[in-house]
Chain A
Amino acid sequence: MNAHSIPVLAIDSLRVEYPLANGSVFTAVENASLVIRPGEIHALVGESGAGKTTIGNTVMGLLEKPGRIAAGTIQIDGKRFDAAKGSAAGIVLGRDVGAIFQDPMTSLNPLFTIEDQLMEAMRFHLKLDKAAARSRALELLESVGIPEPRRRLKAYPHQLSGGQRQRVVIAAALSCNPKLVVADEPTTALDVSVQSQILKLLRDLADSRGIGILLVTHNMGVVAQIADRVTIMHRGKVVETGTTQEVLRHPKAPYARALIGAVPRVDRRLDRFPVLGDEGKGRAEEARAELREKAERSEDVADEAPILSVENLCVDYTTSGWLPGSAGHRFRAVDGVSFSVRSGEVFGLVGESGCGKTTIANVVSGLVRPTAGRVLYRGRSIAGEGATHRIGPLRQAIQMIFQDPYSSLNSRMRIGSILSEPILFYRLADSRAEAESDVARLIEAVGLEADAAQRFPHAFSGGQRQRLSIARALGARPKLIVCDEPTSSLDVSVQAQILNLLKDLRDATGLTLLLISHDLAVVRQMCDRVAVMRQGQIVEQADSETLFDKPQHPYTQELLSLVPTLDRIRGETQAA
């Protein structure tokens, strides 16, 4: 690209502040500078709270009150941004600056058709009449690669898949020929295969239309795949900036090195995830040892048989039909799946959304009834054929950790009550006092301070909440924990800590884990054996090393090739 052309975005020593209620000021962004030229993709990377989204919002004029630009300048296409008005003269949001948001499921209004939502911006900004706007909407849908665009125009958002919706969002962002697009985590909510298509689309748009893209993301793999330049932020400050190749290959700042190190690798297995500064471990280890001791007193004899076996499991979801008596639509979510989990191992189930992996987790934990087949725990049927009603004690042995640590803890209960619930329910403590000391031990075992019991969930960060979810699962003294995407809503460094914690707990208490994830890198780092699922069936099942090094099934190979990794950096592939 022409280095002398006017940059589409030039931010110079920007400071964004939020005045707080007590009179002090929280600085969300400090002294940030970056330049984006036409056709360039500039990635803004950092963990939650780093200030990257604040920069994106400020550029879009969407900075939430009472936030304000305290210092520095922003120029969009050479035009100076007015801090007081929150916009630049001659720059119209939506016309010159397009936006792509994270979650395509929620960024489209459910009550309006795709056509309505694409046309409105064009009608306001470009003053097109209805017919012209409609024909342009059709062109846009074609250009973002939506099949049958004419039909899709009349569709409502819920009739499209996540990937298609994100394409519609991109089409809306492009509708008025913007010079700059701010994409805030555009692929975080999508499957790897869809992600790779959307990333390709963004790259093409930058190359063919000369649009400058500010890509806000936490995913280093995405950065490596499409960004030209990278800026890494930490707590509101820019810690490193440069070309993608420089920054990812030779990070200089310690934080940048740590962040890049914490990214789970899909290409080789490490013993532990490198984390930024290890937490006080001594007490946690003691607590875990005590947990183990307690668990062993109630231990039944571990035998050689698999702890969990799933045999020919089928699950159908049915919807009612149009006419009374008509069978309705039947959807087979899980289709003849068999696998077994050995005692003490970590078994991974991988696949894209809709492949049935979560349904299996729900069957194993008793939340969904199978249509056919059965699930055995230590040789006794707990779901499906031959399952008895008296499976309470078996339930205790299988606990679950959910994906979203924000909604899986009851916000009206203190941590102490949340954690003591399973202990009291299964009568694992003789007295309330004993239950309380158990709770304290659990909290320490997951690396938090025991006084956490007095507080409510909102006092904790996402990572801490997930630790508490783990503590709650451990409270029932399970033999098997089903982890459904335990880290997919967490930052990389927090993810690394949680995964390390799960590994440590496994080593310390001899737990068995059934790990469900869409993230191949996480699965490789965690699991001993892996099953790859697609459309309700297992396509390949093997030791994790074998599976990742020599994938047999074409689908596994395809999935692996689509994962954005740090090994394929854009500058380098182009040079090669």
Chain B
Amino acid sequence: MFKVLLSRLGQAALVMLVVSAVSFVMFRYVGDPVATMSRENASVEEKAELRRSLGLDQPLAVQYGRFLTRTLSGDLGISYRNQRPVTALIAERLPATLELVIVATILSLALGIPLGVLCALKPDGIAARLVQAVSLVGISTPTFVTGIVLILVFAVSLGWLPSFGRGQVVDLGWWSTGFLTVSGLKSLILPGITLALYQLTLIMRLVRAEMIDVLSSDYIRFAKARGLPTRYIHFRLALRNALMPVITVTGLQIGSLIAFAIVTETVFQWPGMGLLFIQAVSFVDIPVMAAYLLFVGLLFVLINTVVDILYAVVDPRLRARSA
């Protein structure tokens, strides 16, 4: 186990090195920050001065070395656009995205697992057929369409819920939360649903397929032959086996939700990481883009490692194999 963990960490370090190289190359070759930042009619001297102050006149290797040392010490540079440290920008935006993702994940697990079980247990029932049909729509409709439709119905026509922003937030020092105010909670509902929808259908379909598989296995037949109650067999025995792959998928999905909540955040003007990234792209704000890249890479590496460990916790066979 320890050895497995160590090798995972080694792999993680390697992945992060590659990601940092890519994000550095972005610095160097994507667009010219000087051109974007300086006035339209700036003189050549002015531009050269700016270039020097940004450190862009140094040799490549020196720049990469500086980049690495700075990154490791937690300094991700200064946003070209906002003229503020990127770390501070991310720290400011991260709570918004994380809260949205937490809501979406809980929503998709809380609905996806029971619905998946329902579809597996009564595959020919009306409810299961309906859920299946609706889920097909859910999985094939693009996020921005769902988001806009939800805004149209619940914010514009019915006026029940706000259509954009986080509402009122409470500052807890380094974390600003929308969970503590009514308007904050109300603002979470629509973007939460929009973001959860795809994941929900995915989890539902996965649970359904796994559950059907597990229910036809010998050990479930053996449990039936021992006369155990049906509910016990379905929910205590079979569901646990069926949830194994859900762990992996949920882990990976949390990663991509955080990293790519961009569309949802744009539709709802959610002040999160995605919106930060979109703005960075349109202004060629390379330090922000590079930091974002690093952040997403780190996130996926972390989540994958956690998933691996979780797997060993749930499945005793893996514990033995790595021991």
A positions within 8 Å CB-CB of B? 60, 62, 92-95, 97-99, 101, 103, 106-112, 120-121, 124-125, 156, 158-159, 169, 172-173, 175, 182, 319-324, 326
Contact = CB atoms under 8 A, between A and B. Distances in A.
Nearest to B229: A124
Given A107-B222, A319-B321, A323-B3, 17 more contacts: A60-B225, A94-B228, A98-B226, A99-B225, A106-B217, A107-B221, A109-B219, A109-B220, A109-B241, A110-B315, A110-B316, A111-B315, A121-B226, A156-B316, A175-B226, A321-B3, A324-B7
Given A106-B217, A107-B219, A172 B316 contact: no
Contact of B224 (A62, A110, A158, A169): A62
Nearest to B322: A320
Contacts of A120: 226, 228, 232
Contact of A95 (B7, B221, B227): B227
Nearest to A109: B219
Question: Which interface class (under 10, 10 to 19, 20 to 34, 35 or more) fits B?
Answer: 20 to 34
A101 B225 contact: yes
B227 A92 contact: yes
B246 to A, nearest CB: 14
Given A106-B219, A107-B219, A172 B240 contact: no
A324 B219 CA distance: 37
B44 to A, nearest CB: 57
A110 B222 CA distance: 13
Interface in B304-318: 314-317
Given A101-B218, A106-B217, A107-B219, A158 B232 contact: no
Interface of B: 1-3, 6-7, 217-229, 232, 237, 240-241, 314-317, 320-323
Contacts of B320: 156, 158-159
B227 A109 contact: no
Contacts of B232: 120, 124
Contacts of A182: 225
A62 B226 contact: no
B226 A172 contact: yes
6 pairs of A and B residues whose beta carbons are closest in the complex: A94-B227, A99-B225, A93-B227, A94-B226, A106-B218, A156-B316
Among A107, A172, A321, which residue has the most Cβ atoms of chain B within 10 A? A107
B223 to A, nearest CB: 7
Nearest to B217: A106
A109 B225 contact: no
B222 A108 contact: yes
Contacts, number: 89
Contacts of A322: 1-3, 323
Given A62-B225, A95-B227, A124-B228, A111 B3 contact: no
B54 to A, nearest CB: 43
Contacts of B321: 319
A94 B217 contact: no
Contacts of A125: 227
B226 A99 contact: yes
Among B6, B218, B315, B321, which residue has the most Cβ atoms of chain A within 10 A? B218
Contacts of A158: 316-317, 320
8 contacts: A98-B226, A107-B219, A108-B219, A109-B219, A110-B315, A111-B241, A322-B2, A322-B323
Nearest to A326: B3
Contacts of B6: 324
Contacts of A323: 2-3
A112 B2 contact: no
Contact of A111 (B218, B220, B226, B316): B316
Nearest to A60: B225
Contacts of B225: 60, 62, 93-94, 98-99, 101, 182
Contacts of B219: 106-110
A121 B228 contact: yes
A449 to B, nearest CB: 33
A172 B7 CA distance: 41
B317 A101 contact: no
Nearest to A91: B227
Given A159-B320, A322-B1, A109 B221 contact: no
A93 B226 contact: yes
A323 B1 CA distance: 8
A94 B232 CA distance: 14
A35 B119 CA distance: 41
A72 to B, nearest CB: 22
A340 to B, nearest CB: 37
B228 A111 contact: no
A501 B51 CA distance: 83
A62 B232 CA distance: 17
